[in-house]
Amino acid sequence: MKVQDKIIVVTGGGNGIGRELALHLLARGARVAAVDINENGLKESAELAGASKGRLSTHVVNITDRAAVEALPQQVIASHGAVDGLFNVAGIIQPFVRINDLEYAAIERVMNVNFYGTLYMVKTFLPHLLKRPAAHIANISSMGGFLPVPGQGIYGASKAAVKLLTEALHSELANTNVRVTVIFPGAIGTHIAANSGVAISALANAGAAQRAIKPLAPSKAAEIIVKGIEKDEYEILVGRDSALMNYIYRVSSRRAAKFITRQMASLLQD
């Protein structure tokens, strides 16, 4: 789906990849409804939109609140007249601890934001997208959605769920006007740890992992994502690390798991 003149909802639009996607879409002539739980973040995104601000609406919504999500299409349509696309970007990571040590509250929070938030948005907006001549759903999974990362087991499980949900949607909607894409970012230079409430000190001690993986700029990630969506790609691997690990995983899943375990070992809290 070409994004020019399309109306696209972007979750996580107040920071990181979501913000950069919103700005990139505006720059390419789209209208954008940016959704985020962080009102200040959305205000900053609106300021950064500059002259394109008139084609941007902002919506403070907790995507884990199904009732709030179900009220969102009416707000977006009131602002823009229709909805042509849904880009589910909002997500959080877990504390860097083993599953055995992870509190249920943290488990439920990660699953609620990453999986159920995405599911609520899809279920709510899909009936509207099916009415459009051309529409697109793009869901952010993660490199961790196909590759096991010690200390991020539940995060990975939530992103694997998003992966399979998106792939199922692609199959179910094959004979409709709605195209579907799943996205696998690798290391991206965002503030996801801070936004997730994960202690920065855990990351600061991960010198080996940081040297091995150079984060991609969120603006570059947005550019790659939009380019892939405009080609109606089935999946988009964002970053060399994601592409490399996807290749290794397909050749030998066990070898890939051992490699990432060595790289990420310093992130685990003992």
Crossing angle for the helix pair 72-80 and 117-129, to the nearest 10 degrees? 50
Positions marked active-site: 155
- The H or E element spanning position 239 is none
Q: What is the largest CA-CA distance in the chain?
A: 53
Tell me the two tokens of residue 204: 């600061």
E-strand spans in 3-81?
Answer: 7-11, 31-36, 56-60
- Separation CA 118–CA 168 (nearest Å): 14
* DSSP string over 92-139: ----S--GGG--HHHHHHHHIIIIIHHHHHHHHHHHHHTTSSSEEEEE
**How are beta strands 235-238 and 178-185 bridged, if at all?**
parallel
Q: Are 176 and 130 in contact (CB under 8 A)?
A: yes
Locate tokens 């196909």: which residue?
146
Q: Which two tokens stand for residue 263?
A: 């790289």
Secondary structure of residue 231 in the 3-state scheme: coil
